[in-house]
Structure 1
Amino acid sequence: MSYVQSVIVPGEKIIARARTHWFIYLPSLCWLALGGALSLLLPLPFAALGYLLLAGALFLVLKAWIYVHSTELAVTSSRVIAKFGFIRRETVELQHSKVESLQVNQTILGRLFDYGSVVITGSGGTHAPIPYIAHPLTFRSAALTGMEALAHESPAAQDSD
Protein backbone atom coordinates (compact mmCIF):
# COMPACT_ATOMS: atom_id res chain seq x y z
CA MET A 1 0.00 0.00 0.00
CA SER A 2 1.33 3.43 -0.91
CA TYR A 3 1.94 6.11 1.70
CA VAL A 4 -0.78 8.34 0.23
CA GLN A 5 -3.33 5.49 0.36
CA SER A 6 -2.38 4.79 3.98
CA VAL A 7 -2.87 8.38 5.22
CA ILE A 8 -6.05 9.48 3.46
CA VAL A 9 -9.09 9.62 5.67
CA PRO A 10 -12.58 8.33 4.80
CA GLY A 11 -14.25 10.66 2.32
CA GLU A 12 -10.95 12.10 1.07
CA LYS A 13 -10.35 11.55 -2.64
CA ILE A 14 -7.17 11.70 -4.70
CA ILE A 15 -7.44 14.47 -7.32
CA ALA A 16 -4.00 14.27 -8.94
CA ARG A 17 -0.84 12.19 -8.61
CA ALA A 18 2.67 12.76 -9.89
CA ARG A 19 5.25 10.16 -10.86
CA THR A 20 9.01 10.31 -11.10
CA HIS A 21 10.38 10.69 -14.64
CA TRP A 22 12.62 8.04 -16.25
CA PHE A 23 15.26 10.73 -16.87
CA ILE A 24 16.53 10.19 -13.32
CA TYR A 25 18.22 7.03 -14.60
CA LEU A 26 20.08 8.70 -17.49
CA PRO A 27 23.28 9.82 -15.66
CA SER A 28 23.79 6.40 -14.09
CA LEU A 29 23.15 4.65 -17.42
CA CYS A 30 25.76 6.86 -19.09
CA TRP A 31 28.31 5.93 -16.41
CA LEU A 32 27.31 2.29 -16.83
CA ALA A 33 27.95 2.46 -20.58
CA LEU A 34 31.29 4.21 -20.10
CA GLY A 35 32.39 1.69 -17.46
CA GLY A 36 31.38 -1.22 -19.68
CA ALA A 37 33.21 0.23 -22.67
CA LEU A 38 36.39 0.89 -20.67
CA SER A 39 36.38 -2.56 -19.10
CA LEU A 40 36.03 -4.21 -22.53
CA LEU A 41 38.36 -2.00 -24.55
CA LEU A 42 41.29 -1.33 -22.21
CA PRO A 43 44.01 -3.87 -21.46
CA LEU A 44 43.74 -5.72 -18.16
CA PRO A 45 45.61 -3.47 -15.72
CA PHE A 46 43.66 -0.42 -16.94
CA ALA A 47 40.36 -2.27 -17.23
CA ALA A 48 40.11 -1.98 -13.44
CA LEU A 49 39.07 1.64 -13.98
CA GLY A 50 36.15 0.37 -16.06
CA TYR A 51 35.19 -2.08 -13.32
CA LEU A 52 35.25 0.73 -10.74
CA LEU A 53 33.02 2.83 -12.97
CA LEU A 54 30.65 -0.13 -13.39
CA ALA A 55 30.43 -0.58 -9.63
CA GLY A 56 29.78 3.13 -9.09
CA ALA A 57 27.20 3.19 -11.87
CA LEU A 58 25.35 0.22 -10.40
CA PHE A 59 25.25 2.07 -7.08
CA LEU A 60 23.79 5.13 -8.85
CA VAL A 61 21.18 2.98 -10.63
CA LEU A 62 20.15 1.48 -7.28
CA LYS A 63 20.00 4.93 -5.67
CA ALA A 64 17.78 6.24 -8.51
CA TRP A 65 15.53 3.17 -8.32
CA ILE A 66 15.05 3.66 -4.58
CA TYR A 67 14.23 7.34 -5.15
CA VAL A 68 11.68 6.49 -7.85
CA HIS A 69 9.94 3.89 -5.70
CA SER A 70 9.97 5.94 -2.52
CA THR A 71 8.70 9.27 -3.88
CA GLU A 72 5.00 10.09 -3.90
CA LEU A 73 3.23 13.34 -4.66
CA ALA A 74 -0.54 13.69 -4.61
CA VAL A 75 -3.28 16.24 -4.22
CA THR A 76 -6.37 15.01 -2.41
CA SER A 77 -9.72 16.66 -1.83
CA SER A 78 -8.39 18.29 1.35
CA ARG A 79 -4.56 18.49 1.18
CA VAL A 80 -1.33 18.16 -0.72
CA ILE A 81 0.78 15.15 0.28
CA ALA A 82 4.44 14.66 -0.60
CA LYS A 83 6.62 11.81 0.61
CA PHE A 84 10.17 10.98 -0.30
CA GLY A 85 12.77 8.76 1.25
CA PHE A 86 13.05 5.06 1.93
CA ILE A 87 14.79 4.53 5.23
CA ARG A 88 14.90 8.19 6.20
CA ARG A 89 11.41 9.39 5.24
CA GLU A 90 10.39 13.02 4.74
CA THR A 91 6.75 13.96 4.40
CA VAL A 92 4.92 17.19 3.75
CA GLU A 93 1.17 17.34 4.21
CA LEU A 94 -0.50 20.71 3.74
CA GLN A 95 -4.17 21.57 3.91
CA HIS A 96 -5.35 23.39 0.79
CA SER A 97 -5.82 26.59 2.77
CA LYS A 98 -2.13 26.47 3.79
CA VAL A 99 -0.73 25.98 0.27
CA GLU A 100 0.62 29.27 -1.05
CA SER A 101 1.93 27.97 -4.37
CA LEU A 102 2.81 24.96 -6.47
CA GLN A 103 5.81 26.01 -8.56
CA VAL A 104 7.42 24.14 -11.42
CA ASN A 105 11.13 24.54 -12.18
CA GLN A 106 12.38 23.10 -15.47
CA THR A 107 15.78 23.14 -17.11
CA ILE A 108 16.17 23.08 -20.89
CA LEU A 109 16.42 19.26 -20.79
CA GLY A 110 13.43 19.21 -18.47
CA ARG A 111 11.37 21.12 -21.01
CA LEU A 112 12.52 18.85 -23.83
CA PHE A 113 11.78 15.63 -21.94
CA ASP A 114 8.83 16.98 -19.90
CA TYR A 115 10.16 16.67 -16.37
CA GLY A 116 10.96 19.15 -13.63
CA SER A 117 10.91 19.95 -9.96
CA VAL A 118 7.62 20.65 -8.27
CA VAL A 119 8.07 23.04 -5.34
CA ILE A 120 5.30 23.15 -2.76
CA THR A 121 5.33 26.38 -0.77
CA GLY A 122 3.12 26.64 2.26
CA SER A 123 2.37 29.20 4.92
CA GLY A 124 4.71 28.97 7.87
CA GLY A 125 7.82 28.57 5.74
CA THR A 126 7.21 25.10 4.31
CA HIS A 127 9.24 24.74 1.12
CA ALA A 128 9.41 21.25 -0.40
CA PRO A 129 11.15 20.82 -3.75
CA ILE A 130 10.57 17.43 -5.37
CA PRO A 131 12.84 16.85 -8.40
CA TYR A 132 12.42 14.68 -11.50
CA ILE A 133 8.63 14.77 -11.60
CA ALA A 134 7.13 13.64 -14.93
CA HIS A 135 4.69 16.04 -16.61
CA PRO A 136 5.00 18.68 -13.85
CA LEU A 137 2.89 21.34 -15.60
CA THR A 138 0.05 18.86 -16.11
CA PHE A 139 0.25 17.87 -12.44
CA ARG A 140 0.26 21.51 -11.30
CA SER A 141 -2.74 22.34 -13.52
CA ALA A 142 -4.71 19.32 -12.32
CA ALA A 143 -3.87 20.08 -8.72
CA LEU A 144 -4.78 23.77 -8.94
CA THR A 145 -7.96 23.02 -10.88
CA GLY A 146 -9.00 20.43 -8.30
CA MET A 147 -8.20 22.74 -5.41
CA GLU A 148 -10.13 25.61 -7.04
CA ALA A 149 -13.15 23.39 -7.74
CA LEU A 150 -13.19 22.24 -4.13
CA ALA A 151 -12.85 25.81 -2.87
CA HIS A 152 -15.92 26.81 -4.93
CA GLU A 153 -17.91 23.81 -3.69
CA SER A 154 -17.20 24.49 -0.01
CA PRO A 155 -19.19 27.75 0.37
CA ALA A 156 -22.20 26.23 -1.42
CA ALA A 157 -22.07 23.21 0.81
CA GLN A 158 -21.86 25.44 3.88
CA ASP A 159 -24.84 27.57 2.72
CA SER A 160 -27.07 24.52 2.41
CA ASP A 161 -26.41 23.48 6.03
Structure 2
Amino acid sequence: MGQADSNRSQKKENSGLGNWEKMVYSVDIHWFGYIEALLLMMIPAYFLFFDPNFLYKFLEKIDFLNPAYVEIACSGLLVLGILVLQHRLLRQFTTILMITSHRTISKFGLIFRKNIEITHAQFEEIQIKQSILGKILDFGTIKMRERSGIGSSKIKIQVSKVASPYEFKKQLMRIIRHNAFHRI
Protein backbone atom coordinates (compact mmCIF):
# COMPACT_ATOMS: atom_id res chain seq x y z
CA MET A 1 0.00 0.00 0.00
CA GLY A 2 2.88 2.38 0.69
CA GLN A 3 4.22 2.09 -2.86
CA ALA A 4 0.77 2.76 -4.35
CA ASP A 5 0.48 5.93 -2.25
CA SER A 6 3.91 7.12 -3.37
CA ASN A 7 3.02 6.42 -7.02
CA ARG A 8 -0.20 8.44 -6.64
CA SER A 9 1.67 11.37 -5.06
CA GLN A 10 4.31 11.24 -7.81
CA LYS A 11 1.61 11.28 -10.50
CA LYS A 12 -0.04 14.22 -8.75
CA GLU A 13 3.28 16.11 -8.70
CA ASN A 14 3.90 15.42 -12.39
CA SER A 15 0.35 16.23 -13.49
CA GLY A 16 0.34 18.19 -16.71
CA LEU A 17 3.57 16.59 -17.91
CA GLY A 18 3.64 14.23 -20.84
CA ASN A 19 4.88 10.67 -20.63
CA TRP A 20 8.11 11.77 -22.33
CA GLU A 21 8.81 14.44 -19.73
CA LYS A 22 9.79 14.13 -16.08
CA MET A 23 10.24 16.63 -13.27
CA VAL A 24 13.89 17.29 -12.44
CA TYR A 25 13.73 19.97 -9.73
CA SER A 26 11.14 22.17 -8.04
CA VAL A 27 11.49 25.13 -5.66
CA ASP A 28 9.22 26.63 -3.03
CA ILE A 29 8.65 30.11 -1.68
CA HIS A 30 10.86 30.80 1.36
CA TRP A 31 9.41 30.96 4.88
CA PHE A 32 10.83 34.44 5.56
CA GLY A 33 7.67 36.09 4.22
CA TYR A 34 5.79 34.57 7.13
CA ILE A 35 8.19 36.20 9.62
CA GLU A 36 7.48 39.63 8.11
CA ALA A 37 3.72 39.08 8.39
CA LEU A 38 3.93 37.67 11.91
CA LEU A 39 6.01 40.63 13.13
CA LEU A 40 3.49 42.99 11.56
CA MET A 41 0.79 41.18 13.56
CA MET A 42 2.60 40.47 16.83
CA ILE A 43 3.83 43.96 17.71
CA PRO A 44 0.42 45.69 17.65
CA ALA A 45 -1.23 42.60 19.20
CA TYR A 46 1.20 42.83 22.12
CA PHE A 47 0.38 46.50 22.71
CA LEU A 48 -3.37 45.99 22.33
CA PHE A 49 -4.02 42.74 24.19
CA PHE A 50 -1.08 41.67 26.35
CA ASP A 51 0.43 44.89 27.75
CA PRO A 52 -1.71 47.97 27.00
CA ASN A 53 -0.42 49.71 30.15
CA PHE A 54 3.05 49.99 28.62
CA LEU A 55 1.54 51.74 25.60
CA TYR A 56 -0.49 54.15 27.75
CA LYS A 57 2.53 54.99 29.95
CA PHE A 58 4.54 55.72 26.82
CA LEU A 59 1.75 57.86 25.36
CA GLU A 60 1.51 59.95 28.56
CA LYS A 61 5.03 61.22 27.88
CA ILE A 62 4.12 62.35 24.35
CA ASP A 63 1.59 65.17 24.38
CA PHE A 64 0.56 65.31 20.72
CA LEU A 65 -0.46 61.64 20.35
CA ASN A 66 -4.04 60.77 21.15
CA PRO A 67 -4.35 57.25 22.69
CA ALA A 68 -7.55 56.55 20.73
CA TYR A 69 -5.76 57.20 17.43
CA VAL A 70 -2.84 55.00 18.45
CA GLU A 71 -5.26 52.17 19.29
CA ILE A 72 -6.92 52.56 15.89
CA ALA A 73 -3.51 52.52 14.20
CA CYS A 74 -2.48 49.38 16.12
CA SER A 75 -5.76 47.70 15.17
CA GLY A 76 -5.16 48.67 11.54
CA LEU A 77 -1.64 47.23 11.65
CA LEU A 78 -3.01 44.03 13.14
CA VAL A 79 -5.56 43.69 10.32
CA LEU A 80 -2.87 44.54 7.75
CA GLY A 81 -0.63 41.82 9.24
CA ILE A 82 -3.43 39.26 8.94
CA LEU A 83 -4.00 40.24 5.30
CA VAL A 84 -0.27 40.03 4.53
CA LEU A 85 -0.12 36.57 6.16
CA GLN A 86 -3.07 35.40 4.07
CA HIS A 87 -1.38 36.75 0.93
CA ARG A 88 1.88 34.93 1.77
CA LEU A 89 0.02 31.67 2.41
CA LEU A 90 -1.93 31.99 -0.83
CA ARG A 91 1.27 32.72 -2.74
CA GLN A 92 3.02 29.77 -1.10
CA PHE A 93 0.32 27.30 -2.12
CA THR A 94 -0.38 28.64 -5.62
CA THR A 95 3.14 29.30 -6.96
CA ILE A 96 4.87 26.48 -8.80
CA LEU A 97 8.34 26.80 -10.32
CA MET A 98 9.79 23.56 -11.65
CA ILE A 99 12.35 22.28 -14.08
CA THR A 100 11.38 19.33 -16.23
CA SER A 101 13.51 17.38 -18.64
CA HIS A 102 12.49 19.66 -21.56
CA ARG A 103 11.22 22.98 -20.14
CA THR A 104 10.90 25.26 -17.13
CA ILE A 105 7.33 25.74 -15.95
CA SER A 106 5.97 28.44 -13.68
CA LYS A 107 2.39 28.80 -12.50
CA PHE A 108 1.04 31.71 -10.48
CA GLY A 109 -2.32 32.65 -9.02
CA LEU A 110 -5.50 31.01 -7.83
CA ILE A 111 -8.38 32.55 -9.74
CA PHE A 112 -6.46 34.24 -12.54
CA ARG A 113 -3.97 31.43 -13.20
CA LYS A 114 -0.89 32.43 -15.20
CA ASN A 115 1.22 29.68 -16.78
CA ILE A 116 4.61 30.46 -18.32
CA GLU A 117 6.84 27.89 -19.98
CA ILE A 118 10.35 28.24 -21.37
CA THR A 119 11.75 25.33 -23.32
CA HIS A 120 15.42 24.64 -22.71
CA ALA A 121 16.18 25.34 -26.37
CA GLN A 122 14.73 28.87 -26.01
CA PHE A 123 16.39 29.62 -22.66
CA GLU A 124 18.74 32.62 -22.73
CA GLU A 125 19.63 33.81 -19.22
CA ILE A 126 18.89 33.44 -15.52
CA GLN A 127 19.55 36.19 -12.97
CA ILE A 128 19.44 35.85 -9.22
CA LYS A 129 19.15 38.85 -6.92
CA GLN A 130 19.68 38.48 -3.19
CA SER A 131 19.77 40.97 -0.36
CA ILE A 132 22.18 40.52 2.52
CA LEU A 133 19.44 38.85 4.56
CA GLY A 134 18.60 36.72 1.52
CA LYS A 135 22.19 35.51 1.33
CA ILE A 136 22.18 34.64 5.02
CA LEU A 137 18.82 32.81 4.92
CA ASP A 138 19.23 31.49 1.34
CA PHE A 139 16.38 33.13 -0.57
CA GLY A 140 16.19 35.54 -3.48
CA THR A 141 14.50 36.64 -6.69
CA ILE A 142 14.85 34.58 -9.86
CA LYS A 143 14.48 36.26 -13.25
CA MET A 144 14.57 34.12 -16.36
CA ARG A 145 14.73 35.28 -19.96
CA GLU A 146 13.95 33.52 -23.16
CA ARG A 147 15.15 34.33 -26.66
CA SER A 148 12.62 36.29 -28.64
CA GLY A 149 12.39 36.22 -32.41
CA ILE A 150 14.05 39.53 -33.32
CA GLY A 151 17.09 39.27 -31.09
CA SER A 152 15.95 41.21 -28.07
CA SER A 153 15.21 39.30 -24.91
CA LYS A 154 12.48 39.85 -22.40
CA ILE A 155 11.87 38.61 -18.88
CA LYS A 156 9.43 35.74 -18.98
CA ILE A 157 9.56 34.46 -15.42
CA GLN A 158 10.17 36.47 -12.25
CA VAL A 159 9.57 34.97 -8.81
CA SER A 160 10.61 36.62 -5.55
CA LYS A 161 11.48 35.05 -2.18
CA VAL A 162 12.42 31.72 -3.73
CA ALA A 163 14.17 29.26 -1.41
CA SER A 164 17.62 28.12 -2.59
CA PRO A 165 17.80 30.12 -5.83
CA TYR A 166 21.40 29.10 -6.61
CA GLU A 167 20.49 25.42 -6.33
CA PHE A 168 17.68 26.07 -8.81
CA LYS A 169 20.16 27.76 -11.16
CA LYS A 170 22.62 24.88 -10.77
CA GLN A 171 19.97 22.28 -11.59
CA LEU A 172 18.67 24.31 -14.55
CA MET A 173 22.13 24.77 -16.06
CA ARG A 174 22.90 21.09 -15.52
CA ILE A 175 19.79 19.93 -17.40
CA ILE A 176 20.33 22.49 -20.19
CA ARG A 177 23.92 21.28 -20.68
CA HIS A 178 22.69 17.70 -20.61
CA ASN A 179 20.04 18.42 -23.28
CA ALA A 180 22.51 20.38 -25.41
CA PHE A 181 25.01 17.51 -25.26
CA HIS A 182 22.38 15.01 -26.40
CA ARG A 183 21.21 17.25 -29.27
CA ILE A 184 24.71 17.25 -30.80
TM-score by length of 2: 0.76
How far apart, CA to CA, are the structure 2 residues paired with 1:118 and 1:13? Answer: 22
Q: Whose radius of gyration is greater, 1 or 2?
A: 2
Structure 2 letter corresponding to 1:108 = I
Aligned partner of 1:134 in structure 2 is: 163
Q: How many correspondences in the alignment? A: 155
2:18 maps to 9
CA distance in 1, matches of 2:102, 2:108: 20
| Counterpart check, 1:154 vs 2:180 | no
Runs of 4+ in 1 over 4 A off after TM superposition: 1-4
Alignment deviations for residues 38-59 of structure 1 (CA, whole Å, 9 cap, x no partner): 2132458443332222111101
Shift of 1:16: 1.2
Counterpart check, 1:71 vs 2:71: no
Q: Any gaps of 5 or more consecutive residues in structure 1?
A: 156-161
Q: What is the aligned counterpart of 2:134 among 85, 110, 113? A: 110
Whether the 8 Å contact between 1:39 and 1:48 is mirrored in structure 2 is no
**For the Cα contact (< 8 Å) 2:48–2:74, is it kept in 1?**
yes
Cα distance in 2 for residues equivalent to 1:136 and 1:48: 40
Moved more, 54-63 or 27-36: 27-36
CA RMSD in angstroms, aligned pairs only: 2.1
* Change over 3 Å in CA distance of 1:63–1:3 after alignment to 2: farther
Structure 2 match to 1:144: 173
Q: Which residue is 1:33 aligned to?
A: 42
Give the drift of 1:92: 1.1
SS of the equivalent of 1:141 reads helix
**Aligned AA (1:21):** H
Q: 2:62 aligns to what?
A: none
AA of the residue aligned to 2:173: L
Distance 1:134 1:73 in 2: 11
Residue aligning to 1:80: 104
> Which amino acid in structure 2 is aligned with residue 140 of structure 1?
K
Q: Is the 8 A contact 2:122 2:147 kept in 1?
A: yes
> Contact between 1:83 and 1:92, CA under 8 Å: does it hold in 2?
yes
Superposed CA deviations along residues 70-122 of structure 1, whole A, max 9, x for unmatched, are 11111111101011112222221011111101221111111111000111100
Aligned equivalents of 2:169 and 2:177: distance in 1?
12
Q: How many percent of aligned residue pairs carry the same amino acid?
A: 23
Q: What residue number does 1:90 align with? A: 114
5+ unaligned residues in a row in structure 2: which ranges? 1-8, 57-66
Paired with 2:161 and 2:31, the residues of 1 have a C-alpha distance of: 8
> For the residues of structure 2 that align with 1:20 and 1:3, how far apart are their CA atoms?
19
- The separation in 1 between residues aligned to 2:32 and 2:161, in whole angstroms, is 7
Say if 1:104 and 1:117, in contact at 8 Å, map to a contact too.
Answer: yes
1:159 is matched with which residue? none
